[in-house]
């Protein structure tokens, strides 16, 4: 199996509110991929974090009656708690308000863009949507408001630094077409290619600095702060010490994959590559663009009140059941609804009756009829499983595992070891050993998706004891 360096990232999340199931989804997806790569021997670096230099914080903190810093610290603690409960194995959590870790690299990158002649000052007027942290156009509005955030944009007239995004349209297009920058899935690759075919416009890259503004000061110009997306995107390299101690940067950049939702595709597949090209740095190898989880047919949003809180599911079902559901039952590439009923049905069918029952059946037989734990031999992963991971299709990898679970259940029924062992003890034991060996193979493949469960199963095999009921049925 391939052994290499593997660098994978999630988006960095806005700490203006608690994380919902959509955020839990992208983080779990990334975690499963990171764990798989560690398992096959790759030196893996997994980055996540929070996008803190955003105007949204100011109003959210004011509403909560606390200082912006208190508000941020509180929310970020909530993020870290959630990630702990989801058993997310990140190597680094970057906060873009961190003046030591993040700011020097963001400033170094800005200076590179400036040195390349790609930043210029311009008087600008436009409609700014704080929800998007981006300018939007008149034609995007519905009844005068941004349809995604339900708020009217601010009309802004100011002098900003502009970044020559237009200059890089053709180069980015060529790199995406050639697969040098791989956009997954195909539908998102088409989407970004059609945007590039229309040509990119230069983009405002700074905002005037006011007593109330947040953000990294533009080097050499105390009147401006960096535009939040320019600052946020650079986290992928500042986290690795870009512009400071570049040891990690030299080891892990370019990223193997940035994992993002389709809502932020153009920032990652157009703006970010352009910034890197301007700075003369290599582009990430791929961008994996997942779809949205809907709730009641609509995008989850605080204003609609249809948010599913991952804490609720974690409390009721536990870490691995939530990880399992997100990994297998959410299609990575198509928007899909999630309901609590669907969650419960999947839990009962696949975990209580499926995996849990299988482990109990086999380990009961092993404990009763074998005098010592079965000796295991290392077996390489099947191609169907590794191919699914190479394509980042973790739901297909999980389908493969559950196919094996079903087949093994079938095998017990067909071979009836519980009967055979009474008639021919040796033969019966032979079958039970075969079942345990296959259970151990399945278990190894479960590790990236359900690490705690996988550990419980291997411990049961190694001690030849039936474990506690792994997934009690929910009525």
Contact region with ligand ME8 (CB under 6 A), list: 7-15, 345-353, 364-372, 402-410: 7-15
Contact region with ligand ME8 (CB under 6 A), list: 8-16, 85-93, 217-225, 457-465: 8-16
For the chain, what's the residue count?
A: 475
Contact region with ligand ME8 (CB under 6 A), list: 10-18, 202-210, 312-320, 354-362: 10-18
332 counts as binding ligand ME8 under rule CB under 6 A: no
Tell me, rounded to whole angstroms, the distance of Cα 199 from its chain centroid: 29
Residue identified by tokens 């062992």 is 421
Structural Rg of the chain based on CA atoms: 25
356 counts as binding ligand ME8 under rule CB under 6 A: no
Binding pattern to ligand ME8, positions 207-246, x when CB under 6 A?
A: -------------------------xx-x-----------
Nearer Cβ to ligand ME8 (68/261): 261
Cα 14 from Cα 57, distance rounded (Å):
8
Smallest distance from ligand ME8 to CB 131, Å? 9
Size of the site for ligand ME8 (CB under 6 A): 20
* H-state helical runs in 179-296: 186-198, 228-233, 235-238, 247-252, 265-266, 272-279
Smallest distance from ligand ME8 to CB 58, Å? 16
In this chain, which of 31, 51, 393, 447 binds ligand ME8, going by CB under 6 A?
A: 51
Nearer Cβ to ligand ME8 (249/471): 249
Neighbours of 148 (CB within 10 A): 16
Contact region with ligand ME8 (CB under 6 A), list: 9-17, 99-107, 278-286, 448-456: 9-17
Is there a contact between 473 and 352 (Cβ–Cβ < 8 Å)? Answer: yes
β-pairing, 257-261 vs 293-295, is: unpaired
Q: At 218, is the secondary structure helix, strand, or coil?
A: strand
Smallest distance from ligand ME8 to CB 263, Å? 5
Nearer Cβ to ligand ME8 (56/400): 56
In this chain, which of 6, 7, 8, 11 binds ligand ME8, going by CB under 6 A?
A: 11
252 counts as binding ligand ME8 under rule CB under 6 A: no
Residue of minimal Cβ distance to ligand ME8: 22
Smallest distance from ligand ME8 to CB 394, Å? 14
Smallest distance from ligand ME8 to CB 358, Å? 31
Peptide bond into 185 cis (omega under 30): yes
First to last CA, the chain: 43
Nearest residue to 442 (alpha-carbon basis) of 313, 434, 49, 159: 434
In this chain, which of 13, 71, 249, 389 binds ligand ME8, going by CB under 6 A?
A: 13
Angle subtended at Cα 274 by Cα 271 and Cα 275, rounded to the nearest 5 degrees: 85
The token duo for 190 is 């088409």
90 counts as binding ligand ME8 under rule CB under 6 A: no
Smallest distance from ligand ME8 to CB 342, Å? 15
The token duo for 232 is 């946020």
325 counts as binding ligand ME8 under rule CB under 6 A: no
Interhelix angle 394-415/425-446, rounded to 10 degrees, is 170
Residue 45 β-bridge partners? 7
Nearer Cβ to ligand ME8 (129/232): 232
In this chain, which of 12, 72, 101, 181 binds ligand ME8, going by CB under 6 A?
A: 12
Cα 372 from Cα 454, distance rounded (Å):
20
Element (H, E) at 413: helix 394-415
Cα 151 from Cα 140, distance rounded (Å):
12
Q: What residues line the site for ligand ME8 (CB under 6 A)?
A: 11-14, 22-23, 25-26, 51, 232-233, 235, 260-261, 263-264, 292-293, 299-300
């Amino acid at each position: 199996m391939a052994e290499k360096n593997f660098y994978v990232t999630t988006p960095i999340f806005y700490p203006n509110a608690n994380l919902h199931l959509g955020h839990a989804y992208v983080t779990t997806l990334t975690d499963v991929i990171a764990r798989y790569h560690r398992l096959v021997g790759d030196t893996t670096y997994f980055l996540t974090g929070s996008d803190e230099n955003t105007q949204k914080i100011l109003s959210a903190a004011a509403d909560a009656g606390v200082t912006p810093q208190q508000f941020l610290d509180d929310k970020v603690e909530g993020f870290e708690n959630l990630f702990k409960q989801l058993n997310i194995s990140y190597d680094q959590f970057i906060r873009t308000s961190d003046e030591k870790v993040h700011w020097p690299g963001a400033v170094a990158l800005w200076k590179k863009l400036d040195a390349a002649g790609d930043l210029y000052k311009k008087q600008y007027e436009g409609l700014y949507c704080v929800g998007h942290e981006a300018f939007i156009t008149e034609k995007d509005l519905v009844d005068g408001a941004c349809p995604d955030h339900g708020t009217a944009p601010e009309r802004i007239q100011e002098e900003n630094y502009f970044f020559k995004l237009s200059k890089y349209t053709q180069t980015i297009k060529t790199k995406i077409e050639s697969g040098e920058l791989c956009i997954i899935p195909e539908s998102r690759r088409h989407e970004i290619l059609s945007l590039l075919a229309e040509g990119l416009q230069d983009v405002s890259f700074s905002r005037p600095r006011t007593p109330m503004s947040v953000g990294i000061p533009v080097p050499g110009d105390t009147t401006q702060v960096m535009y939040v997306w320019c600052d946020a995107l650079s986290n992928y390299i500042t986290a690795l010490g870009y512009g400071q101690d570049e040891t990690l940067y030299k080891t892990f950049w370019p990223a193997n994959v940035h994992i993002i939702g389709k809502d932020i595709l153009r920032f990652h597949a157009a703006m970010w590559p352009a910034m890197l090209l301007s700075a003369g740095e290599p582009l990430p190898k791929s961008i994996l663009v997942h779809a949205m989880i809907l709730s009641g047919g609509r995008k989850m949003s605080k204003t609609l009140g249809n948010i599913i809180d991952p804490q609720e599911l974690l409390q009721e079902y536990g870490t691995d059941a939530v990880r399992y559901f997100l990994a297998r039952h959410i299609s990575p590439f198509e928007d899909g609804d999630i309901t609590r009923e669907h969650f419960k049905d999947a839990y009962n069918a696949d975990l209580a009756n499926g995996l849990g029952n299988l482990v109990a059946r086999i380990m009961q037989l092993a404990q009763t009829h074998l005098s010592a734990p079965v000796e295991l031999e290392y077996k390489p992963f099947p191609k169907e499983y590794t191919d699914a991971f190479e394509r980042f299709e973790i739901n297909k990898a999980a389908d493969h595992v559950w196919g094996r679970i079903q087949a093994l259940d079938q095998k017990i029924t067909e071979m009836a070891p519980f009967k055979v062992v009474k008639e021919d003890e040796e033969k019966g034991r032979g079958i039970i050993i075969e079942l345990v060996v296959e259970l151990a193979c399945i278990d190894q493949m479960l590790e990236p998706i359900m690490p705690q469960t996988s550990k419980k199963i291997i411990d049961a095999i190694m001690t030849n004891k039936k474990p506690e009921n792994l997934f009690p049925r929910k009525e």
